[in-house]
Amino acid sequence: MEILLLWIFYILTFYAFLPGLISRLFGFRVFRRGIAEREIALTFDDGPDPIYTAKLLDLLKTYKAKATFFVVGVHAEQNPELIKRMHEEGHLIGIHNYVHKSNWLMRPKTVKRHIHKTSGMIEEITGKPAIYYRPPWGIVNLFDFGNLGHIQIILWSAMFGDWRKRLGAERLYKRMKKTLKGGEVLLLHDCGLTFGADRDAPEQMLSALERYLKDAEEKELRCVRIDELIRTTEKHKALHPSLFKRLTVKLWLGYEKLFHVVFGLKTASETKPVLHFRARPYHGETMMLDDGVTLQHDDQVLELHFDNQHLYDIGHSSKSSVHLAIKLIRDVEKALPEIAAYVAERPELQQIKALYGVSFIHRGPEQFGFTVRDLPKGLFSWMTKRYLKLLLRVIHPMGQNRLRQQSDQLVPKTITMSMEYLMKRYGPGYHFSAHEMEASIHGAEQPFKNASL
């Protein structure tokens, strides 16, 4: 009996207690507070409620405030018109599980099913899936950190106990007033039907919230959706990276220099390198390129690598995703003729059959003449995808946001160009046309969409 109790204690500690403690104390894999001068995020849990959610939407509309609603699936199912109204009035809809039950009491598979069911319901009503999630009572289990895919967990910076009617509107308002500052994420409740809540408590919340919104208006503070506060926070972090971020980048770029030395990578431009390369045998499956050249196992290729220091620099100096794409295209435009000249001048490289690389940026290279193919599934593909995602987090100012919003689209692919095509197109007298520039920008900017700099 004693051993059984000990095992139960260990399971609860590592499955439930420690993950919750780490997420709250250190913000690991969760968003709970923003960095902003004048933006506050109002968030409401447990709804929608046919009485109080409608009143709340009227109040928010009066003060031109936007909010985030973390809805319970069964309540959303019963009140689809309120979900539709939230969406139409510009509010963000998140997930609060299908039923209001602690993640500590559910298996990871059950939690995932609840989330997907609620997200699917929201998408059916609004046309947009939900990607933000607040677990009931803010409780996470061990597997929530890696089991939810692109879903972002949202906690809060201020909670007031507004689910209890006895708190009263006056005391609630005084507690809320202390949070009248940018970056706060307020947790409130627009429904009193969950376990431990009072049915009419939202009436007190609405009274206190109206006074809070008046104060915010006087102080010129804006109430925004959680996704807007996240974007503002990430932009601030991009402009003012933390010491940890700076050290991470420094270590990563130092590792890259070591990699170049160990594997003997070269560049055609020593002063401002964009692409590095090394000659090696091709180890993939036989590939027919778009120009008719066949690349076979053990053919010699120049393996391409972007200069990550350069990518990091242009990422942090670009004003938008389009601006970044223009810089990237112009740099590649310059690099390809330089590589062609470099190869032409070196007899030892005359056996090179193609340029070859693996990248997330594969929607623009075809405009340069690269053949884009899926990376064969396997261990190498799995490892490459995770390496490139880690790289994007490091070198891109808002890489984390990009990964969260369009994770499914970030699939590494091979990009290949025959040496015959390189010499024919990028040899002496090559000129990059305006049409090529426009087409390449449209493709190359895709990996940076929704991650404005």
- Render pLDDT for 287-325 as a digit per residue (tens, 0 to 9): 999 999 999 999 999 999 988 888 778 776 766 556 667
Q: DSSP readout, 277-303?
A: EEEEE--S--EE-TTSPEE-TT-EEEE
The confidence score (pLDDT) of residue 378 equals 78
Q: Are 226 and 185 in contact (CB under 8 A)?
A: yes
Question: 3-state class of 251 per DSSP?
Answer: helix
Q: Which residues contact 270 (CB under 8 A, 6 or more apart)?
A: none
Residue 40 pairs in a beta bridge with: 223
Q: Which residues contact 10 (CB under 8 A, 6 or more apart)?
A: none
The confidence score (pLDDT) of residue 188 equals 98
The confidence score (pLDDT) of residue 9 equals 45
- Residue ranges and CATH numbers for the domains of the chain are 2-237 (3.20.20.370), 241-448 (no CATH)
The confidence score (pLDDT) of residue 297 equals 93
Residue with tokens 């109790």: 5
Reading the block at residue 282, the tokens are 């091709």
Q: Are 323 and 286 in contact (CB under 8 A)?
A: no
For helices 201-218 and 52-62, give the axis angle rounded to 10 degrees.
10
Give whole-number Cα distances, 300 to 214, 356, 419, in Å: 70, 10, 10
The confidence score (pLDDT) of residue 310 equals 84
Burial profile 170-196: b = 16 or more Cβ within 10 angstroms, e = fewer: eebbebbeeeeebbbbbbbbbbbbbee
Residue 280 pairs in a beta bridge with: 301
Edge-to-edge, what's the strand order for the sheet holding 275-281? 266-267, 275-281, 300-306, 354-359, 413-418, 371-374
Closest to 66 in 3D by CA, of 233, 187, 222: 222
From 75, 100, 189, 276, active-site residue: 189
Closest to 320 in 3D by CA, of 146, 445, 143, 167: 445
CA 355 to the chain's CA centroid: 31
Instruction: Give the gyration radius of the chain's Cα atoms.
Output: 27
Query: What's the CA gap between 43 and 223, in Å, rounded?
Result: 10
Q: Which residues contact 9 (CB under 8 A, 6 or more apart)?
A: none
Q: Which residues contact 100 (CB under 8 A, 6 or more apart)?
A: 46, 72, 136, 194, 195
Query: What's the CA gap between 201 and 439, in Å, rounded?
Result: 57
Closest to 80 in 3D by CA, of 110, 45, 112, 50: 50
Q: Are 416 and 356 in contact (CB under 8 A)?
A: yes
Beta strands 68-71 and 294-295, pairing class: unpaired
Beta strands 354-359 and 413-418, pairing class: antiparallel
Closest to 15 in 3D by CA, of 151, 107, 83: 107
Give the residue ranges of the chain where pLDDT is below 50: 6-16, 18-19, 22-23, 25-27, 402-403, 405, 407-408, 434, 436-437, 439-453
Query: What's the CA gap between 356 and 372, in Å, rounded?
Result: 10
Q: Is 75 a catalytic residue?
A: no
From 45, 49, 190, 331, active-site residue: 45
Q: Is 45 a catalytic residue?
A: yes
The confidence score (pLDDT) of residue 124 equals 95
